[in-house]
Structure 1
């Protein structure tokens, strides 16, 4: 049902905005003259393609969704006056209800149509996390186009590559500063119908027509008020909704084509992980173009949550100012929260520190025993069940429980209050270090780890409140199949055996844009996606310490990251790197050693060590490496401390904070060669 005139007028007074229609225009209109403003837009008569649910308001159930923006019709009907978005760092701060968000999306969609974007065309969206990113994202989809997305921290070369490779006909961009960065790299081969600035003022002159966000919203609103809208065909679930360029640790990024059906699968079934209720608050920190953050947002909006935008700079303050029921982030952020607690603890008096560490040790042992007695001990998953062990673990856990609950009352409750996560943290987008996983368990904050990749929209599996087995990434989502195959023979392996993780289900991508060869390599003739990850599925036991682990997926690194020593031994570097990062002296580390007799490492030391002499620092780091990695299968031999951190800006980290191993190896080739040659 379309929003009433009164509701529209009220919404427009706060944030001009159209009743949501996922519409697509067929004929392509003439391009506006360079430098034209909003008033110079052409009025074009053409057919439309739309989301029948959003446009006509027919029903509001998730089973009726055909296009991603359909969710806003459901949300506006159910949660209309509830606050959907809070962007507190804007001037002035922005608050928008579900009705206002729906109106803004519809107005943006109509503006895209009026400016000449046709169905199935592509619009580049280069911006960071904000309420306007969401409106632009959904507005582009709602009129039947697909967006090609990326953030401002990517290199200029990468952004221009995506703009051209995606065949985008228009560009929606974050700020004038980012536009100026890219302008120098534009050339005659680039043809854009227009540019939209989400924030800031447009330049006085530019090679293409430039519109501000406010002009787009106003244009869309005026266009929607005109009579004579033509009939529309529905967007199809198999239509491409977005092209997401993979972070990629080597070469140019590949454009992953995700359909509306791919994403709707996630919107329907992420309740396997969490069940938010209307009014629950989420803090949004991650890049919104990353599919992990993106589908988490889409899903939680369907439950009527309030989303608050934050940033790394303000995260600590915002966790206190806006206590959140759920927090979606990557392992690095949870590791940072863990390190913050450790740092505060190191400043405490000797007695206080000893008290906290004592309770931590007791509660860690208590939790280990609870896992065994309750059948959630992954370490026993490959062993024959032992009922007596479970019984004895239960008895010992009962004995220790008073001390654990005392520690919870006087220590862990204060840590929970300081971190500010009320119900659960959700981790994805990378490997969750074991020590971080255990820390959150001990202090009583539920941490739900999941697994996926861009090519699977992204979630493949996730832990749940009822089945939160540490060390796993949980059970596959509904309608999702997971199969472990031998890397060489490609034969299916039995549960408990490590191999390549392959996935099949409704969330698997349509393919790589303009790259059929890569698509064919990634997805076989039966629809199985080769993830390139190594893992195994926990065997099913009816009794014993691992009786509730059966069927859960366990990851053990990337096939391409495996280091093969000259001895023929295979080493998964991530296990060692995660262990080493427990040290407060080590900020970043990359294990090296391909074709060598032993492992080495490149290490970025903590900023807190700046005043330490080089020789002393090396001795301290050596001691920390030995302490932290003593339980690993392989130890680090020689290492070098590098002065420059691995960052996105210098090309050594992906946008999701993963190491670009090939780039790091190339940059530090001489140091690595010297490292091993001097130890011969």
Structure 2
């Protein structure tokens, strides 16, 4: 009788009953009526039924996507090659999320209202926990610093450019906010620009005041002033301690040198009320990293930033909301828009940003200490995480368990379930997740394509949301973004609500919009205003109808997402007339096990490609042993048999990826040292500096082509 009453309570009339329990009820009713149950048996059966009911009630729920995942974008005015987000009601694009958040200043003020005295900016010393500066304190410091800038001759308007030449740290953000508090614009500078480019930027923007972190940077700027090549420079402000000798040196060439505290003192004594900017005002002139030619200054307004940030929030609304207790790790260069947009999004919600110590070798220690919930990354870092996981699994049994666990988690993803508390997470993936702090909720990857294999694998193993975005500085940051609930890989999502995206014909490459392929073009409120004082380059990027031509080649997939398939920029022809997009080929070759980095080179007088390869030092020696070749990493890089083996593996990977025969390299040079930002071979966003790579390896490249003709 008690059993029957309990069963009845599970029915539609019971307080806890739902259709989810039908299977349990059916199972129990199916027991033979002649079965005699003792009290202990009833208790055990009841416990089993209770556990089953608990699992049904608490089992992971699939994510409900905000739109039909089969139609994530829709044609604009019937033109299938031009599309906008399916989240919009019509063709009117999104400018801002709230009426009172139309500028970066407004968005930080919203965070201040939410968090108040809560933590905002975090920093740490070696071996110590993070210390935090509150939203209230950051706001006050920004007003004080901004008042000090005004006392040093800066004007409170968007035509006043202030240079910031420093690594990521709280003072960077406070200095930026100080400029916005008084409607000034920021011009970020960075180490790898080089002397010529730095002089070009200072003169083009007519920068009189630069805020630096280290003495070495101030000395490099003073050297230019002493040579007479940067006449407008008149004041340097340093975060780090300054010497009397440096102050004297500056005085001798007409540059006033102050410590940050001195400028703050000046601001406190002459505190001014904020003069906030308008949406149409310039916020930042972000100079491109200059993979070729002189850097160009992309003019980004407060409205550009507001629309881009608002669009990401719009996509995630009702699905993922940044909370006040969320924290992001800041290590990607603040001189570029990707990291800045992440921070604006965090400040918008009153969340926290913790800075790394400034040494990339200590990043993992910073992550474990900070325990971020939000992790912006570039594909190179995700590739390294993937390779480390794969390299740590040596025995066949452990590899089999890993593969099975990944498949089970990927099956959950395919049904819309994202979690990090499954049996497989506890048994297999917990150590991997702990290495990244153990608290990740959200990862965003951008700046370059990522392998679908790596993306799918890490979505399973890390147990958190991983989104992919696509864009460039000239559209503020992103123009497409993964749709929540769509955990497929191999595309960069659908257009953001702030952007229309169309494909334009590229006849030379046989890409045509009518076939759903072509150059990716963007229009909308997040598209930049042009390049600073460079009408020619602006006209090349922006056509008469306001479309930004990206130089990337994409195609629309049937579900309305965009796939990047080629690159128009950095293209060249081989002697037989075939067009080559080297970056596409490099992305394929980095999936070769022994390859860490690769630079593909071609010459219009030659009929084939060659390459510079940096083998992965963590796997190269063991990979060689597996082929019966012994030696140190350095020795193996000089071994002709190893070069042949690496080349063969690359060609095999290339065939599997569908590279044509003329897209495969015919010879390689194994180089033992990584391309890096510090040696000038990578940009701060970790893209190859192609001009510099050709210059550094000109002898090896010439030798490879010369040997072929010998």
Name 1:315's counterpart in structure 2: 363
8 Å contact kept, 1:244–1:289: yes
8 Å contact kept, 2:105–2:276: no
**Offset at 1:521?**
1.3
Name 1:39's counterpart in structure 2: none
**Offset at 1:123?**
1.3
**Offset at 1:582?**
3.2
Name 2:697's counterpart in structure 1: 668
**Offset at 1:105?**
1.0
Paired with 2:564 and 2:483, the residues of 1 have a C-alpha distance of 17
Paired with 1:66 and 1:497, the residues of 2 have a C-alpha distance of 35
TM-score, L = length of structure 1? 0.78
**2:364 counterpart of 1:329:** no
Paired with 2:576 and 2:283, the residues of 1 have a C-alpha distance of 48
Name 2:707's counterpart in structure 1: 678
Q: 1:253 aligns with which of 295, 299, 309?
A: 295
**Offset at 1:269?**
2.1
Structure with more relative contact order (C-alpha pairs < 8 Å, separation 6 or more): 2
8 Å contact kept, 1:111–1:220: yes
**Offset at 1:670?**
3.9
**Offset at 1:643?**
4.7
**Offset at 1:452?**
1.0
Q: Where does structure 1 lack aligned partners over 5 or more consecutive residues? A: 1-59, 377-396, 398-403, 540-549
**2:322 counterpart of 1:276:** yes
Task: Tell me the secondary structure at the aligned position of residue 640 of structure 1.
Answer: strand
**Offset at 1:453?**
0.6
Matches for 1:51-200 after TM superposition, within 5 Å? 62-89=98-125, 94-118=131-155, 119=157, 120-186=159-225, 187-188=227-228, 189-200=230-241
**Offset at 1:153?**
4.1
Structure label with greater radius of gyration: 2
Task: Tell me the secondary structure at the aligned position of residue 430 of structure 1.
Answer: coil
Paired with 2:564 and 2:247, the residues of 1 have a C-alpha distance of 53
Name 1:577's counterpart in structure 2: 586
Name 2:269's counterpart in structure 1: 222
Matches for 1:485-634 after TM superposition, within 5 Å? 485-488=504-507, 494=513, 497-539=516-558, 550-595=559-604, 596-607=606-617, 609-612=633-636, 614-634=639-659
Paired with 1:356 and 1:154, the residues of 2 have a C-alpha distance of 46
Distance 1:233 1:214, change over 3 A: closer
Name 2:684's counterpart in structure 1: 655
Paired with 2:545 and 2:671, the residues of 1 have a C-alpha distance of 46
Q: 2:479 aligns with which of 460, 463, 473?
A: 460
Taking only aligned residues, the RMSD between alpha carbons, in angstroms, comes to 3.0
Paired with 1:341 and 1:491, the residues of 2 have a C-alpha distance of 40
8 Å contact kept, 1:563–1:592: no
Stretch of structure 1 that moved more, 145-154 or 256-265:
145-154
**Offset at 1:512?**
0.3
Q: Where does structure 2 lack aligned partners over 5 or more consecutive residues? A: 1-95, 619-632
**Offset at 1:509?**
0.6
Q: 1:211 aligns with which of 258, 262, 266?
A: 258
| Alignment: residue pair count | 573
Q: After superposition, what is the alpha-carbon deviation per residue over 1:391-444, rounded to whole angstroms, capped at 9, x for unaligned?
A: xxxxxx9xxxxxx97654421233222233521211111222333213202313
Paired with 2:125 and 2:390, the residues of 1 have a C-alpha distance of 29
**Offset at 1:242?**
1.0
**Offset at 1:530?**
0.3
Name 1:45's counterpart in structure 2: none
Q: 1:359 aligns with which of 396, 401, 407?
A: 401
